[in-house]
Amino acid sequence: MWQPRGRELGAIKSALFALCLVPFAHLVWGVAYDALGANPVEAVTHSTGWWTLFLLCATLGVTPLRRATGANWLLKLRRMLGLYAFFYAALHFLTYIWLDQWFDLAAIAADVLKRPYITVGFTAFLLLIPLAATSTDAMQRRLGRSWQRVHRFIYLIAVFGVLHFWWLVKRDVTEPALFALVLAGLLGARLYWLLRRLARVTRAAVATSSG
């Protein structure tokens, strides 16, 4: 399996960095040139929400892809994808509290408490914060084994993201259903590995006790 060396990996990372900025650049350009259609705030909310969910799924896709292809270097891109998911989530949240609600704290609180789609979206965003905060090498070293346990919250965050999308559409669930399908595949892969490992452990245990 081909593995990029230092400079090549750097180039790949730079390209991915730029690629992930494209939706943001499009929004900035669209706002500047009034090119986001009749309801720009809605366009920004939808775009940032969509890319958050897309990038969450992309982050979750790294490990299955790595295991399927043996391209271990893909792991080196995972942190960037995850941080970009957080970046778009933060923009999404900012759009909501600022451009949509104008910092009307009472209205925001009412939304978070009363509207299930906001409740799960808000929870997902809160859960993303510690993951972003502990994403550095130093934090990873300091937390050791618990780092992985903390970062497993991404499974829940992605599920909440899909629920949030599903609950907010008026009628047409095609897109949230597609995301649900992709997410089911990504989480299903983990479940499959887990079961296989359990089976192997059990077999090994049986083998030792009978041998």
Partner 1 sequence: MPMLIRTTSDVAPSQITPKSVYLRRRAFLERAIAMGLVLPLLPAQALAVGARKLSGRPGPFSASEKQTPYKDVTTYNNFYEFGTGKDEPAIYAPKMKTRPWAVTVDGEVKRGGVFGIEDLLKLAPMQDRVYRHRCVEAWSMVIPWVGYPLAELIKRVEPTGRAKYVAFTTKLDPETMVGTRLPLLDWPYVEGLRLDEAMHPLTLLTFGLYGELLPNQNGAPVRVVVPWKYGFKSAKSIVRVTFTEQQPKTAWNEAAPNEYGFYSNVNPNVDHPRWSQARERRIGEDGFFTPKRKTLMFNGYANQVAELYAGMDLKKFF
| Sites of contact with partner 1 (CB under 8 A) | 31, 33, 35, 37-42, 99-100, 102, 107, 110-111, 114-117, 167-168, 170-172, 174
Q: Which does 99 bind (CB under 5 to 8 A by kind): partner 1, ligand HEM, none?
A: partner 1
Among 20, 44, 53, 57, binds ligand HEM (CB under 6 A): 53
Is residue 154 within 8 Å of residue 82, measured between CB atoms?
Answer: yes
Spatial distance between the Cα atoms of 111 and 49, rounded to a whole number of angstroms: 17
Instruction: Note the helical H segments in the chain.
Output: 6-32, 40-69, 78-94, 105-114, 116-133, 137-143, 145-151, 153-168, 174-210
Minimum CB distance to ligand HEM smaller for 87 or for 93:
93
> Which token pair is 170?
């008026």
Total length of the chain: 211
Question: CB neighbours of 36 closer than 8 A, spacing ≥ 6?
Answer: 27, 30, 43, 44
- When the beta carbons of 12 and 90 are compared against ligand HEM, the nearer one is 90
Q: How far is the CB of 74 from ligand HEM (least distance, A)?
A: 22
User: Which residues bind to ligand HEM, rule: CB under 6 A?
Assistant: 45-46, 49-50, 52-53, 89, 92-93, 96, 118, 121-122, 124-125, 128, 157, 161, 164-165, 168
